[in-house]
């Protein structure tokens, strides 16, 4: 029987390490990107980006992979207008929303998503949301948040969206666990089953699959973050009295075990029960990960800052798959939410926060890692330099949390290394033939 992996309280790892702080040129997607996974999660919501043709293009090209999905997002294009044209812009927005809601009567929640063109910044979207909310109440709740590239990076769009939703949550004095952060439905179902088998509950997930099932929150709610990029959401839930449990994130077998353990401890689950519930999936997860270890053991990995998943992923790859960490970059380091993760990283890990893309490229090329995790824009140039890369965005789109996905998580990292090996071997095979 494999034991529960203890998260040693004496472990300090990188807890006191000061990251290299960089505030230079960035190379990341903006917060609109979050719509790609949020529109699949909240199934009766619609995301209306108030933006430019660039925003529409981003959504269309990045979301091209979802061409067969029922679209639940769109763009209201606000062309160049001067200040005198703002009243028209508000009228235009009202018209677009009226048309949308009459065509799509299934929409129960409408998010007006701000962007960064100056014409949009001048628009007061919170007032527009209030006005449209009154007009379409009670059938549709209208909320707003910003996905602007000036204010948000890549995954912060989800944080902004969920934080905007917190005031709409009903209140409760009841104790319960709220798992916070969008997870693929399959992952959510697996984690829910494990927690329920342990007797942890009442249990709810935020965001919910339907906007009419908003979970209640109050001073006896315990929050377990499923994603590491939700600082504003956690703060907003804290203002409603909820308390955040500290845990590593559910990536890899160790992370998932420690994450479940945090919930189990808060809800008084016995060690025996915890063991009995988690033993089989834990062993399946370990076995699935072990298949990838030969490809990853002692390989060196470099993370550019993109998604805020970098630190938990680095912890998992280093501790469970034997990889060596060259640099772990994160767009933002939230020490409190990352406390359990930092404690598990090797003490000498080079951490960086923020970005100065040229300087980081220089460090990356000097390190010559076996694998580099980076944004789409850097991947091709780095591949041309002979480096193997992994797109950070794939790690957000792919279900990688929990025991049953631990093998898939490892595969995402072993695949580029295998591909490179195959390409290297290809000429030899041809020659031999
Ligand atoms: Fe570009 Fe800004 Fe629109 Fe994002 S919000 S697509 S960064 S214009």
Counting ligand 1 atoms within 8 A of each CB, the residue from 61, 115, 117 with the most, and so the one to mutate, is 115
Please indicate whether residue 31, judged by its CB atom, sits closer than 6 Å to ligand 1.
no
Mean pLDDT, rounded, for 247-258: 98
Nearest Cα to Cα of residue 224 among 254, 246, 194: 246
Asked if pLDDT for residue 71 goes beyond 80, the answer is: no
Please indicate whether residue 59, judged by its CB atom, sits closer than 6 Å to ligand 1.
no
Ligand 1 geometric centre to CA of 52 (Å): 8
Residue 1 has a pLDDT of: 38
Counting ligand 1 atoms within 8 A of each CB, the residue from 26, 28, 30, 114 with the most, and so the one to mutate, is 30
Nearest Cα to Cα of residue 154 among 303, 326, 332: 332
Quote the tokens at residue 399: 């279900």
Please indicate whether residue 149, judged by its CB atom, sits closer than 6 Å to ligand 1.
yes
Asked if pLDDT for residue 428 goes beyond 50, the answer is: yes
341 close to 311: Cβ distance less than 8 angstroms: yes
Q: What is the pLDDT of residues 312-346, one digit of tens each?
A: 999 999 999 999 999 999 999 999 999 999 999 99
Asked if pLDDT for residue 8 goes beyond 50, the answer is: no
Return d(Cα 362, Cα 359) in angstroms, integer: 5
Return d(Cα 401, Cα 192) in angstroms, integer: 12
Ligand 1 geometric centre to CA of 116 (Å): 6
230 close to 162: Cβ distance less than 8 angstroms: yes
Ligand 1 geometric centre to CA of 251 (Å): 30
For residue 114, the ligand 1 atom closest to its alpha carbon is: 5
Please indicate whether residue 115, judged by its CB atom, sits closer than 6 Å to ligand 1.
yes
pLDDT-derived band of residue 123, with 50, 70 and 90 as boundaries?
confident
Mean pLDDT, rounded, for 261-287: 98
pLDDT-derived band of residue 235, with 50, 70 and 90 as boundaries?
very high
Residue 10 has a pLDDT of: 54
Higher model confidence: residue 300 or residue 4? 300
Asked if pLDDT for residue 134 goes beyond 50, the answer is: yes
Return d(Cα 48, Cα 35) in angstroms, integer: 10
Nearest Cα to Cα of residue 125 among 105, 107, 110: 110
299 close to 418: Cβ distance less than 8 angstroms: no
Interior CA angle at 327 toward 315 and 398, to 5°? Answer: 55
Residue 79 has a pLDDT of: 65
For residue 30, the ligand 1 atom closest to its alpha carbon is: 4
For residue 149, the ligand 1 atom closest to its alpha carbon is: 7
Residue 5 has a pLDDT of: 47
Ligand 1 geometric centre to CA of 269 (Å): 46
Mean pLDDT, rounded, for 5-11: 51
Q: What is the pLDDT of residues 356-399, one digit of tens each?
A: 999 999 999 999 999 999 998 899 999 999 999 999 988 998 99
For residue 116, the ligand 1 atom closest to its alpha carbon is: 2
Residue 9 has a pLDDT of: 47
Q: What is the pLDDT of residues 192-212, one digit of tens each?
A: 999 999 999 999 999 999 999
Cα torsion at 376, 379, 384, 387 (round to 10°)? -170
Please indicate whether residue 54, judged by its CB atom, sits closer than 6 Å to ligand 1.
yes
Question: Three-class SS string for the chain?
Answer: CCCCCCCCCCCCCCCCCCCEEEECCCCCCCHHHHHHHHHHHCCCEEEEEEECHHHHHHHHHHHHHHCCCCCCEEEEECCCCCHHHHHHHHHHHHHHHHHHHHHCCCCCEEEEEECCCHHHHHCCHHHHHHHHHHHHCCCCEEEEEECCCCCCCCCHHHHHHHHHHHHHCCECCCCEEEEECCCCHHHHHHHHHHHHHHCCCCEEEECCCCHHHCCCECCCEEEEECCCCCHHHHHHHHHCCCEECCCCCCEHHHHHHHHHHHHHHHCCCCHHHHHHHHHHHHHHHHHHHHCCHHHHCCCEEEECCCCCCHHHHHHHHHHHHCCEEEEEEECCCCCCCCHHHHCCCCCCCCEEEEECHHHHHHHHHHHCCCEEEECHHHHHHHHHCCCCEEEHHHHHHCCCECCCCHHHHHHHHHHHHHHHHHHHHHHHHHHHC
Q: Is 0.85 surpassed by the pTM of this model?
A: yes
pLDDT-derived band of residue 150, with 50, 70 and 90 as boundaries?
confident
Please indicate whether residue 51, judged by its CB atom, sits closer than 6 Å to ligand 1.
yes
Higher model confidence: residue 5 or residue 174? 174
On the 0-12 / 13-18 / 19+ scale of CB atoms within 10 A, 134 is: exposed
Ligand 1 geometric centre to CA of 149 (Å): 5
Residue 16 has a pLDDT of: 84
156 close to 170: Cβ distance less than 8 angstroms: no
Interacting residues of 176 by C-beta distance below 8 A, sequence separation 6+: 201, 202, 203, 204, 216, 220, 221, 222
Mean pLDDT, the chain, rounded, equals 91
Residue 84 has a pLDDT of: 57
Asked if pLDDT for residue 69 goes beyond 60, the answer is: no
Ligand 1 geometric centre to CA of 244 (Å): 32
Interacting residues of 309 by C-beta distance below 8 A, sequence separation 6+: 155, 227, 228, 229, 249, 251, 392, 395, 396
Give the residue, by CA position, lying nearest to ligand 1 atom 7.
Answer: 149
Residue 121 has a pLDDT of: 85
Residue 87 has a pLDDT of: 66
Return d(Cα 261, Cα 70) in angstroms, integer: 38
For residue 59, the ligand 1 atom closest to its alpha carbon is: 6
Please indicate whether residue 55, judged by its CB atom, sits closer than 6 Å to ligand 1.
yes
Counting ligand 1 atoms within 8 A of each CB, the residue from 33, 49, 52 with the most, and so the one to mutate, is 52
Ligand 1 geometric centre to CA of 335 (Å): 28
Please indicate whether residue 28, judged by its CB atom, sits closer than 6 Å to ligand 1.
no
Return d(Cα 114, Cα 105) in angstroms, integer: 23
Please indicate whether residue 114, judged by its CB atom, sits closer than 6 Å to ligand 1.
no
Q: What is the pLDDT of residues 14-59, one digit of tens each?
A: 988 889 998 888 777 899 999 989 998 999 999 999 998 889 888 8
- Percent above pLDDT 90 for the chain: 74
Nearest Cα to Cα of residue 376 among 294, 277, 328, 306: 306
Quote the tokens at residue 333: 């380091």
Interacting residues of 156 by C-beta distance below 8 A, sequence separation 6+: 31, 34, 229
Please indicate whether residue 117, judged by its CB atom, sits closer than 6 Å to ligand 1.
yes
Give the residue, by CA position, lying nearest to ligand 1 atom 3.
Answer: 55
For residue 51, the ligand 1 atom closest to its alpha carbon is: 3
Q: What is the pLDDT of residues 337-359, one digit of tens each?
A: 999 999 999 998 999 999 899 99
Q: Lowest-pLDDT range, 44-48, 81-85, 100-104, 144-148?
A: 81-85
């Amino acid at each position: 029987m494999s034991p529960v992996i203890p998260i040693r309280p004496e472990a300090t790892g990188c807890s006191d390490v000061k990251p290299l702080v960089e505030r230079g040129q960035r190379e990341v997607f903006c917060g609109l990107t979050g719509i790609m996974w949020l529109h699949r999660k909240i199934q009766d919501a619609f995301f209306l980006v108030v933006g430019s043709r660039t925003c529409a293009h981003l959504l269309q090209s990045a979301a091209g992979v979802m061409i067969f999905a029922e679209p639940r997002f769109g763009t209201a294009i606000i062309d160049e207008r001067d200040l005198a044209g703002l009243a028209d812009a508000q009228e235009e927005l009202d018209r677009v929303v009226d048309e949308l809601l009459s065509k799509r009567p299934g929409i129960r929640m409408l998010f007006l998503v701000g962007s960064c063109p100056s014409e949009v910044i001048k628009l007061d979207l919170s007032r527009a949301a209030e006005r449209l909310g009154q007009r379409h109440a009670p059938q549709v709740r209208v909320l707003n948040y910003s996905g602007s590239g000036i204010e948000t990076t890549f995954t912060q769009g989800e944080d902004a969206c969920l934080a905007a939703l917190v005031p709409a949550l009903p209140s409760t004095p009841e104790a319960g666990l709220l798992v916070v952060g969008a997870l693929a439905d399959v992952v959510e179902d697996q984690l829910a089953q494990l927690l329920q088998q342990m007797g942890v509950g009442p249990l709810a997930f935020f965001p919910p699959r339907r906007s009419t099932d908003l979970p209640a929150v109050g001073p006896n709610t315990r929050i377990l973050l499923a994603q590491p990029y939700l600082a504003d959401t956690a703060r907003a839930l804290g203002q409603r009295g909820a308390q955040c449990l500290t845990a590593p994130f559910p990536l890899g077998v160790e992370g998932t075990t420690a994450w479940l353990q945090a919930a189990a401890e808060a809800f008084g689950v016995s060690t025996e029960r915890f063991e009995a519930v988690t033993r089989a999936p834990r062993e399946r997860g370990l076995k699935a990960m072990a298949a990838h270890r030969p490809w990853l053991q002692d390989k060196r990995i470099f993370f550019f800052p993109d998604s805020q998943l970098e630190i938990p992923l680095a912890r998992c790859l280093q501790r469970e798959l034997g990889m060596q960490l060259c640099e772990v970059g994160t767009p933002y380091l939230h020490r409190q939410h990352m406390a359990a993760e930092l404690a598990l990283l090797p003490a000498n890990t080079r951490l960086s926060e923020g970005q100065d893309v040229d300087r980081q490229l220089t460090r990356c090329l000097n390190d010559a890692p076996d694998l580099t995790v980076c944004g789409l824009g850097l991947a091709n140039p780095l591949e041309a330099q002979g480096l193997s890369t992994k797109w950070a965005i794939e790690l957000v789109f792919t279900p990688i949390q929990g025991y049953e996905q631990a093998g898939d998580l490892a595969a995402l990292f072993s695949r580029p290394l295998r591909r490179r090996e195959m390409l290297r071997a290809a000429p030899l095979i041809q020659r031999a033939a």
